A and B are shown apart, each in its own frame.
Chain A
Amino acid sequence: MRLLIAIAILITSIMPARAADDAAFTAVLSKLPEASYAEKSDLIKQLVEIHRAGTKELLNAFLEGRLYVRDSDKKIFIVESSDDAFKLTDAVTNQTAGTVSQDGFSKIGVNNQLRRVLRAALAQFDLASPDRDARLAAVKEMQRSMDADTTAALRDRLAKELDSAIKKEIANAVALADLSSDDAKVRLQAVTTLHGSLNPDVYNRLQGLLEKSPEGEYVEPDEAVRTAAAAAITRIDRWRQIYSAIETLLFGLSLGSVLVLAGIGLAITFGVMGVINMAHGELMMLGAYTTYVMQLLMPHYIGASIIVAIPAAFLVSGLMGVLIERGIVRFLYGRPLETLLATFGVSLILQQLVRDVFSPNNRPVETPQWMAGSLQFNEALSITYIRLYIIIFTLAVFAVLLLTLKHTRLGLEVRAVSQNRNMAKAMGIRTEWVDALTFGLGSGIAGVAGVALSQLTNVGPNLGQSYIVDSFMVVVFGGVGNLWGTQIGGASLGIINKLLEPYSGAVLAKIFVLIFLILFIQRRPRGLFPQKGRAAEG
């Protein structure tokens, strides 16, 4: 009881000081229902200038279309609709006014123009927020509708802001506004501030300075400002070109990484062993399905499931590979064309198996949280995390494989067998064992590639088929029996593809790449990096 009285006293003591504000506020507010949209935006600015508590809630409600006027007494309420009723809050006193039926109220209309004004106005409230991200968002929001007020607010903030990134952002926004200043010096200063910005708005505004009016006169009367603007545009253009080249390169690399992933397992089975494995695509498919199963097994840890899926997929596809080698391929060594046909048979069986066990339809594989989104370098350059991780992942797989082949006992034996089977046998290497393990290794890598592909394409029974031609191409292009060749070949094919795409479209680019490869093989039948020495014989 005592507490309530204390609060009541407190409120009444503040009242007189705010009475004048309240009057102005109510006066402005009461004009709102009848005003045109243009007038409304003026009224909003007046409301903001009154600096009264509760304005933010009011504007927010307005933005969300929850501001209504009661037809009987023209009082304005913030409403929350539930079922058929309105829960009312008085817009002036900010006190709840009961729940009534929706009849007898009219909404105060908002349009997109007005929404932008409202958002900018609201952003001003956030400009002083202690949260850095909120401030940054506020600045960006305000940039979208710059006028004298917002500029003034930003200029105000510029002096107080401590965070350098936000400071730069504000400076740009202010400079953008200053471009319309009457003072040539201010304009020149603004152009100088803007000359490193990659914001498309800045570019357009600077471009606008150089244009001529229909009468043939420059829009920008001052020579020095024009020169500075032209210089800034050239600079921005150059940077944009560089960034877009980097972007194409990154896109190409990520596409190339997919190709490398698809091809690198094949490079082992085909390159090192001389065996054509047409079921390679289906081994990738198995890897992708393993990812799916892992997500089913651990539905609450999607982010971790993909990590677990990598060794699991390696095992599943690797074991399948060993099975194929022991069951079929070993009877067909030295008859590559027959191996091709038999393994194609295996691929059909695996496809049908997946259709029967899972479903003929694509399975949904979720992308873990930590792979969503994109890495924003600046306004002209960003790359999605998936692309980035694919590139890194491919390099990791490649490094592991290379180290395995170069520095392990198995790698040594694999190389020995691939160079001279009989000699290796004579030295006591169990070539059959090595064959099975090599095939298993190549297949396991295909499974790991499948994990990556599950994040990029649809996981379905046809996943393998769509990659088989590509992966053969990469191996043949890079040079058979050469992991470096596969890596470089895949990456360059990806980049070529992405370089062509803007000019010809994705499908034509792919066709051109295929034609290029067909012609390339005529010139260099053994690929980019042919094997030399003894391994090349026979």
Chain B
Amino acid sequence: MISRSMLDSIKNDRGGSLLLALLAAAAVFVPLFNLAVPATSALHLSTYTVALIGKYMTYAMLAIAVDLVWGYCGILSLGHAAFFALGGYAMGMYLMRQIGPRGVYGDPILPDFMVFLNWKELPWFWHGFDMFWFAMSMVVVVPGLLALFFGWFAFRSRVTGVYLSIITQAMTYALMLAFFRNDMGFGGNNGFTDFKDLLGFDLHRDGMRISLFVITALFLALSYVASRYVVSSRAGRVVQAIRDAESRTRFIGYRVEAYKLWVFVFSAIVAGIAGALYVPQVGIINPSEFSPVNSIEIVIWVAIGGRGTLYGAVAGALLVNYAKTYFTAVLPSFWLYALGALFVLVTLFLPRGLVGLLSKVTAKAEQA
């Protein structure tokens, strides 16, 4: 039933269909070019590139999450990096437990940093993370719960607009400060790294990299479809009504807080999953992921791609991050100027982002 209506929601979505087709093609061809094409060939994709594209795709998921709350519900969250990082930390804790006795200090249970800090036993919140199913449920539960509490407080007392943006920023800032502390039991400013394997598979082998890539593509597609379903559902329409006229929607009789809350929680969960996929591909997670600047950067991906379209967010995330990788290597000092200028120009001249620009151009072409 749900899958049927999910498909329906995609049917009239040209951008979305294109995105899904591209993702499917990537899931097939990227492994092919990486594994089947010999390394000497021009068509060969290095494992580094595969991991890089994989990383971009987790960012794209994060952009979808932000677009859901910002583009469709008008909540400008400047704290979504926190949900991403929490999902990442949950995954990181599982990966740390998987290292087992292979750490530098060879302690069978305690991760290296705990041995280093002279801790005698595992803190209570580390229990269970040796089990994959538990860690994965935490990837969803922890960001979801945080969003639930935070959103419940914030929306119920009708904190809106800029105020909400600022307190989400304060939230991620507070979390960053907290995770920087060694006593928190999350590795302090070094975070987690030096992972060995996931579900028994060596993380450094090409095959594992490719599998992670395909899984990430799958999850990106899935989160796109799910988000599309959410926004085109009846509830999704109410959410958009809230974005456009919050008081009016409330006076009509909808419980605005509840709708906002569920979108916010759903979005946080998507961000958390993205974070969990990010960590094994990048191989490190540390508190700087919580930094407020990161959260603002996500917003600019969405703004550049075009908010309120979902596929625009994906395109923005991919484009900006590709540009970032390219320019920081070629012209390091140029990148921040470019990013800064992008913020300014997009908000001034492209309120609907690249997608908006594209549709304007095609509309003109059709008229002519």
What's the Cα separation between A507 and B293 when bound, in Å? 19
Q: Which residues of B contact A515 (CB under 8 A)?
A: 174
Are A351 and B158 within 8 A (Cβ)?
Answer: no
Alpha-carbon distance between A351 and B150 when the two chains are bound, in angstroms: 32
State whether B165 touches A340 (Cβ < 8 A). Answer: yes
B170 contacts A517, C-beta separation under 8 Å:
yes
* B162 with A521: CB separation less than 8 A: no
B154 contacts A by Cβ under 8 Å:
yes
Distance of B339 from chain A, by nearest CB (Å):
6
Q: Indicate whether A521 sits within 8 Å of B167 (C-beta atoms), given known contacts A332-B347, A338-B347, A349-B337.
A: yes
Residue pair A525, B163 in contact (C-beta under 8 Å):
yes
**Which of A337, A347, A352, A356 is close to B162, meaning CB atoms less than 8 Å apart?**
A337
Within 8 Å by CB of A525, from B76, B159, B178, B344, lies: B159
| In the complex, residue of chain B having the shortest beta-carbon distance to the beta carbon of A353 | B337
Tell me if B173 is interfacial: C-beta within 8 Å of chain A: yes
Residues of B with C-beta under 8 A to A342: 343-344, 347-348
B333 contacts the other chain (CB 8 A): yes
* A403 contacts chain B at the CB level, 8 A cutoff: no
Question: Which one, B163, B167, B340, contacts A349 given CB within 8 A?
Answer: B340
Whether a CB of chain A sits under 8 angstroms from the CB of B101 is no
CB pair A337–B340 under 8 Å, yes or no, is no
Residues of chain A lying within 8 A (CB to CB) of residue B292: 468-469
A residues within 8 A CB of B177?
A: 507, 510-511, 514
Mask of B280-314 contacts with A, CB within 8 angstroms, 1/0 = 00000000000011001001100100000000000
Report A-chain residues with C-beta under 8 Å of the C-beta of B245: none
C-alpha spacing A344/B299, complex, angstroms: 11
Q: Beta-carbon contacts of A244-287 to B below 8 Å, as 1s and 0s?
A: 00000000000000000000000000000000101000000000
CB proximity of B243 to chain A, nearest CB, Å: 12
Which single member of A276, A332, A352, A465 contacts B340 (CB below 8 Å)?
A352
Given A348-B336, A522-B159, CB of A508 within 8 Å of CB of B153: no
Q: Does A472 sit within 8 A of B, measured CB to CB?
A: yes
Residues A507 and B163 in contact, CB atoms below 8 Å apart: no
Q: CB within 8 Å of A: which of B112-171?
A: 150, 153-154, 156-159, 161-163, 165-167, 169-171
Q: Is the CB of B163 within 8 A of A348?
A: no
Q: Which chain A residue has the least Cβ–Cβ distance from B74? A: A337
| A407 at interface, CB cutoff 8 A | no
CB atoms of B181 and A356 under 8 A apart: no
Pairwise interchain contact B153-A519, C-beta atoms closer than 8 A = yes
Partner of A348, one of B169, B299, B343: B343
Contact code string A507-538 (vs B, CB < 8 Å = 1, else 0): 11011001101110111010000000000000
Interface string of B203-223 (1 = CB under 8 A from A): 000000000000000000000
B23 at the interface (CB under 8 A from A): no
* Distance, CA A476 to CA B169, complexed state (A): 13
Minimum CB–CB distance from A272 to chain B (whole Å) comes to: 14
> A511-B177, A519-B153 in contact; A352/B300 too (CB < 8 A)?
no
Asked if B38 is at the interface of the complex by the 8 Å CB criterion, the answer is no
Assembly CA distance A50 to B333 (angstroms): 75
Is B26 close to A, CB under 8 A?
no
A341 touching B181, Cβ below 8 Å: no
| Contact present for B344 and A511 (CB under 8 Å) | no
Does A346 count as interface, using CB distance less than 8 angstroms?
yes
Residues on B with beta carbons closer than 8 Å to the beta carbon of A355: 333, 336
Cβ of A328 within 8 Å of any chain B Cβ, yes or no, is yes
CB < 8 Å neighbour of B169 from A328, A337, A469: A469
A521 to B347, CA, bound (A): 28
User: Nearest A residue to B336 by beta-carbon distance?
Assistant: A352
CB of A507 within 8 A of CB of B340, answer no
- Residues on the A chain within 8 Å of B19, using CB: none
Given the contacts A473-B170, A507-B177, A525-B163, A332 and B348 also touching, CB distance less than 8 Å: yes
Question: Which B residues touch A344, using CB under 8 A?
Answer: 296, 300, 343
Distance between Cα atoms of A517 and B163 in the complex (Å): 11
Q: How distant is B366 from chain A, measured CB to nearest CB, in Å?
A: 29
Q: How far is the CB of A519 from chain B (nearest CB, A)?
A: 7
Enumerate chain A residues within 8 angstroms of B108, measured Cβ to Cβ.
Answer: none
User: A343 → chain B, closest Cβ, in Å?
Assistant: 8
Cβ B153 vs Cβ A522 within 8 A = yes
Q: Which residue of B lies closest to A337 (CB)?
A: B76
B171 contacts across to A, CB distance below 8 A:
514, 518
A511 to B184, CA, bound (A): 13
Say yes or no: is B89 at the interface (Cβ < 8 Å to chain A): no
- A341 & B348 in contact (Cβ 8 Å cutoff): no
- Pick from B156, B170, B299, B340: contact of A518, CB under 8 Å: B170
Q: Separation in Å of the B109 CB from the closest CB of chain A?
A: 27
Residues of B within 8 A of A473 (CB): 166, 170
Contact B333 A507, beta carbon cutoff 8 Å: no
| Chain B residue contacts of A349, Cβ below 8 A | 336-337, 340-341, 344
A331 to B163, CA, bound (A): 22
Inter-subunit contact B344/A328 (CB<8 Å): yes
Contacts of A346 in B (CB 8 A): 340, 343-344
B106 within 8 A of A: no
Q: Considering the complex, which residues of chain B in the window 323-339 have a beta carbon less than 8 Å from any beta carbon of chain A?
A: 333, 336-337, 339
Among B165, B293, B333, B346, the residue within 8 A (CB) of A337 is B165
At the interface, yes or no: A303 with Cβ under 8 Å from chain B?
no
8 A-B pairs whose Cβ atoms sit less than 8 Å apart in the complex: A340-B162, A341-B300, A341-B303, A341-B343, A345-B343, A465-B293, A522-B153, A523-B157
B residues with a Cβ closer than 8 A to A are 76, 150, 153-154, 156-159, 161-163, 165-167, 169-171, 173-174, 177-178, 180-181, 292-293, 296, 299-300, 303, 333, 336-337, 339-344, 346-348, 351
Given A345-B343, A476-B166, A514-B173; 8 other pairs, CB 8 A cutoff = A328-B344, A344-B296, A345-B340, A348-B336, A514-B170, A514-B174, A514-B177, A518-B150
The interface of chain A, by Cβ under 8 A from chain B, is 276, 278, 328, 331-332, 336-342, 344-349, 351-352, 355-356, 465, 468-469, 472-473, 476, 507-508, 510-511, 514-515, 517-519, 521-523, 525
